[in-house]
Homo-oligomer: A and B are copies of this chain.
Amino acid sequence: MNSLTSHCQFELPAWVGLLLQDWQEPLRTTSQRMELAVALSAENIRQQTGGPFGAIVVNEETSQLVSVGVNLVTTVGLSMAHAEIVALSLAQSSTGEWDLSCSGPMQLVTSCEPCAMCFGAVPWSGVKSLICGARKSDAEVAGFDEGDKPGDWVKLLQRRNIVVQCSVLRAEAAAILAQYGDSGGTIYNVGSGEAPDQQ
């Protein structure tokens, strides 16, 4: 049989390191953490390295930043490279543990509530809590598709002992989505172009 690709990788854009130089640890408050996630989403548009979504993983005990993520779908060529998957995977690469609970109480902070895929990914990652900025409706206004996530997704995560808080700095986070939509930011469609974009 033919020789197939056996290796897959992705990397954060170089600008992420420069942006982080302006931020100080510890990130003690939920607002401070969300400010960074939103700043990543905004800079990802400005740098044209992907969609308007940012996420970080923070150790809740130490308030130290463990990883950051931005949406890299179009630039790394992987449909799974949503900000949340990027941040979780980089946290796991950093800690060496696919189960982040082995490395402390970890929190995923995302500039927009997760799509169906990222919702499903949260329990598998071992994070203890999830903080979201913009809501599904904010993403939809900008032309994005959240996928078929259960309506009671917050309760379903809570039932798995994952603490969830929504609408943290929602206005600031939603403004970045609206800006992307208004500016005619690339809406990358699957297939025919008839379906709305995924986040």
Measured CB to CB, the residues of A under 8 A from B are 1-12, 16-17, 20-21, 23-25, 64-68, 73-74, 76-81, 85-86, 88-94, 96-99, 101, 115-121, 123-126, 145, 147-150, 153, 156, 160-161, 188-191, 195, 198
Contacts and interface: CB of A to CB of B under 8 A. Distances in A.
A79 B65 contact: no
Contact of A124 (B3, B68, B79, B125): B79
A4 to B, nearest CB: 6
Given A4-B67, A64-B2, A120-B147, A79 B92 contact: yes
Number of copies: 2
Contact of A10 (B8, B23, B81, B124): B8
* Chain A contact residues: helix, strand, loop or mixed: mixed
A1 B16 contact: no
A126 to B, nearest CB: 5
Contacts of A5: 67, 90-91, 93-94
B77 A80 contact: no
A85 B77 contact: no
Given A101-B191, A126-B191, A79 B121 contact: yes
